[in-house]
Amino acid sequence: MMKKFRADLHIHTVLSPCGDLEMSPDVIMTRAKEMELDIIGITDHNSMRQCSVIKESGIRNGIVVLAGVEITTKEEVHCLAFFETVEQADDFQRYLDGNLPEIKNDVNRFGYQVVVDGENSIVYCEEKLLISALNQSIEQVETKVHSLHGLFIPAHIDKKRFSIMEQLGFLPKGLQVDALELSHRCTKESFLRQHPEMSAYSFVSGSDAHYPEEVGRKITIFEMKHPGFDEIRMALGQKNGRKTEVLN
């Protein structure tokens, strides 16, 4: 029997330099429960180091947490990636670390980049500037994500900054995407009026939350048997009766 699950797959934490310092694991979880979310995706810029603590909090609170990341490719295109296992996430973290330029973060200009534990104590401070672009193309990133059986989703494709449509103007031939993400300001209908050639793709939408009150401001409905990773993959592919729906 299929059920409907409410998801916000684009949430930043204290680790993102643009994320508010209030975006701690407990605050995110409290807000997710207030918004009656079943699934959330943690997507800090070019790092997955905060995912595990929030994933553990999700288990305690009955919310499925997808370990994810918002990648900036060499072309300065933002893309979301999600992984099922700790091993896959660790492997991709090593890939991120190895391909992020040695540009030091300027705290006064960009903000802090910290990882906190379940008690909100700082356990790690990232020295590299996380909003830098990797030295990897979008095709290279997509290939790496799928080699680890992850999900690859170009982010906020309707936006005028850091979107695949703005930076490239098109989806590269052969690029394998699991879905396309729309920003909270755009509806699927309005986007397809401008880009009818993309009607065959699955779409998701998320809050791109940087502050607590933004969590859940835009959601995707997944229709599936349970909120598991493989079920989400099938829903994105509109397979075996699973579906996705972007709420306007």
pLDDT of residue 247: 83
Nearest to 25 by CA among 35, 10, 15, 34: 15
Q: Are the C-beta atoms of residues 163 and 73 closer than 8 Å to each other?
A: no
3-class DSSP assignment, residue 109:
helix
**Helical (H) or strand (E) element with 95:** helix 86-99
pLDDT of residue 20: 79
Q: Which residue range is the domain that position 52 belongs to?
A: 3-246
pLDDT of residue 19: 73
- Model pTM? 0.97
pLDDT of residue 219: 97
Q: Are the C-beta atoms of residues 66 and 32 closer than 8 Å to each other?
A: no
Q: Could you say which residues of the chain have pLDDT below 50? A: none
Q: What is the CATH number of the domain that holds 160?
A: 3.20.20.140
Nearest to 204 by CA among 224, 166, 178, 234: 178
**Helical (H) or strand (E) element with 180:** strand 180-182
* pLDDT tens digits, one per residue of 231-245: 999 999 999 999 999
Domain count for the chain: 1
pLDDT of residue 203: 97
Exposure class string for 52-83: b at 16+ Cβ within 10 A, else e: bbbbebbeeeebbbbbbbbbbbebbbbbbbbb
pLDDT of residue 21: 84
